[in-house]
Structure 1
Amino acid sequence: MQRLLMRKTSFLPIFSILAIAGMLMGCPSSKTPPLSERIAKAWTARIVTENGNVAYTRGGTSNIRTYNNFKLDLSSAPTVRLTEFDGNTFVGTYSVQDNPQQLTLTALQPQPTGTNGTISYTINSISDTELVLTRTTTSQKTGGTTNVYTLSNP
């Protein structure tokens, strides 16, 4: 009788470990959606730097430039609507690349000055509410500066 009792109890720890492992393996892991889905939103400027100098901070009182109008609308893929700080709007298409992370706007109409209708950005970081982009070419609108945009949604 003791042998039988010992055999039953010796299986209890093994059974417990297997049961816990089975539950853990059965739980679905949260998977990060692809970049193309995470970026598909309307983004507005929160902070903009030009050549490393802060030119705009939303709500700031000493902004060098007003980016209140700036909007990058990627919510209707593959269509993009880019509204620059001066209120001019350009419509075209966009694509994203995963490695390296890059956003490219193409066939922009009307063509922004000096772009041939294409503007590219390096994606520095992205979360549900924030997108940080560095323009890969200088902006003639801001005097030939390299701009970094910290955008937010909403």
Structure 2
Amino acid sequence: MPGYAFPARDVRTDLLRDAGEPPGVRYGLAVGDAIVRDAVWRCPELPDHMAFAWFRHPEVVLDHWCEEEEETFVHPRDPYERVDPIPSSRHVVVEIGWQVVADTRHAVLLFETGLPTRDHIPPDDVRFDLLEPTETHTRCPYEGVASHWAFAPCGSPMRRES
């Protein structure tokens, strides 16, 4: 099963309790007054990274596991074969020539195997007064039909090349 590992510097080590055998490799996780045994470990394949047990563990370790704002169930998605649209609250700003064309905290990030992550921005967060439609439309079995737009600074008409 796939899993997640995080840089140790990003982990709240104040909540970890060394399991001792071998030292500094496996940890219990302090949850209130209880300690969940073997909930965290250092990854030998990824030095300076730590992984968390959150599926197939005899005890409940984490209440929820989220990727961006979407809860992930059962186990992590396969990172080698994926087409996952994940809602995000990241601040995404698109600028062209010092003009803000889009500004949102409601993007949907598209994670697709072998491609860079793409930000899909809601139409309400796009300045269409700075864009003009083109004749280009593309189709995708996952994303549907996309209409393409061209930047038209200050509302000036775009030059079209033949």
Instruction: Give TM class, smaller chain.
Output: under 0.3
TM-score between the two structures when normalised by the length of structure 2: 0.22
TM-score between the two structures when normalised by the length of structure 1: 0.23
**Greater fraction helix:** 1
| Greater Rg by CA | 1
